[in-house]
Amino acid sequence: MRAQANTIRQPGLGAAATVYPILFAVSIVHLLNDSMQSAISALFPILEKSLQLSYTQIGFIAFAMNITASLLQPFIGIYADARPKPYILPFGVCFTLAGVVGLSIAPSFVYIVLAVICIGIGSAVFHPESSRVAYLAAGDRRGLAQSIFQVGGNIGSSLGPIMTALIFVPLGQFGVIWFSIAALAAIGIQFYVARWYSGQKVRPRSPVSKQTVERKSGLLSKQQIRLAMAILIALVFSKNVYISSITSFYTFYLIKDYGVSVEQAQMYLFAFLAAAAAGTFLGGPLADRFGRKNIIWLSILGTAPFSILLPYADLFWSGVLCVFGGLVLSSAFSIIVVYAHELLPGKVGLVSGLFFGLAFGLGGLGSALLGMLADVTSIAFIMKLCAYLPLIGLLTIFLPKDKALAGHR
């Protein structure tokens, strides 16, 4: 603990070490948290049949969870910037536990919505504060630290299709109750993280010095910072609405247009999400080496060839294109968060809450709108429409270069 307590950079001292035990701890909790969230979308094919839900209702379930997390996260981040509360971390998982139990026994659409709102509250507490923990434990390897933190979430999300095939198809909706074990494990790990986090309260609340803020303001004007933030938000929109189209509707697309079974469709979705997890892990280290802007550019825009071709491919090549699209696209988000941290030094909670909130909110809103559109058109139309979202990556050209970010390395 003594070594861990001295990891945060102090003005005038040398480079800070990276606290890997804490990074891996928050990554594991991220895995558990997002595996519980992925149980919701994994249940969609089961709920569609058992409760006779429309695509609009399915989209609204995703929307209800994500918009709850989206609206709450920035406020939690702002509050924590001023008054860090380490033990809010295990407390937040208690809401997730309540949501998991409620989801397993929900008898109707309304109760399902209430259960996923509880899960959304748990995520709203978890993401901004855990992202701050990853920032504090990062030392000089911020890209790597965010990738370690976020890859846990991607791995957890990728487990959803496996859960459908192995748990929900044979056991049905009540199979969700098994995830209460994951919630209890997450609560225990969060107490360990909170103890370390509370030991940092005597340190400055941000590892960015006043001199860094002054240097930054001299390099980038307020207008440039606002433009850069707007571009980053547009990129998050592109990424998360496209991913929501895959996670919420790709299985229905495969079932209806290619005639595959529910279990086979879930394996294709698992391949996409597993590739996304790998991309998340690779993105941070690559950005640390080759630059934030370069990898953001490659990640968002580089997905376009795969996404545009996917709706016109046969079953085999659809799977191949989906995997490569997930690998490339998911390398961006951890870098976007780090880039935004450097644009707004000293506001780690606000930035983390804003971008994680946007990721949830845009993904949920996208699911709701795409569900309504699918009811009046078709799933195939949705896949073709969303294929062009990665072209928004062209906006990356207007981001400031890495060397303009004061305090970069």
Q: Report the percent of the chain where pLDDT is more than 90.
A: 17
Q: With b meaning 16 or more CB within 10 Å and e meaning fewer, what string describes 236-257? A: bbbbbbbbbbbbbbbbbbbbee
Assess if residue 43 is contained within a domain.
Answer: yes
pLDDT: is 361 or 189 the higher one?
189
Are 157 and 63 spatial neighbours (Cβ–Cβ below 8 Å)?
no
Reported as a single tens digit per residue, the pLDDT across 189-209 is 999 998 998 877 534 444 444
Give mean pLDDT, residues 204-221.
50
Answering whether pTM is above 0.75, one says no
How many domains does the chain divide into?
1
Assess if residue 337 is contained within a domain.
Answer: yes
Question: Domain holding 372: CATH number?
Answer: 1.20.1250.20
Assess if residue 96 is contained within a domain.
Answer: yes
Q: How confident is the model at residue 353 (pLDDT cuts 50, 70, 90)?
A: low
Residue 124 has pLDDT above 80, yes or no: yes
Q: What is the extent of the structural domain holding 289? A: 2-404
Assess if residue 181 is contained within a domain.
Answer: yes
Assess if residue 409 is contained within a domain.
Answer: no
Give mean pLDDT, residues 291-315.
88
Q: Report the percent of the chain where pLDDT is more than 70.
A: 86
Give mean pLDDT, residues 113-120.
92
Confidence at residue 212, expressed as pLDDT on a 0 to 100 scale: 47
Confidence at residue 10, expressed as pLDDT on a 0 to 100 scale: 38
Confidence at residue 118, expressed as pLDDT on a 0 to 100 scale: 93
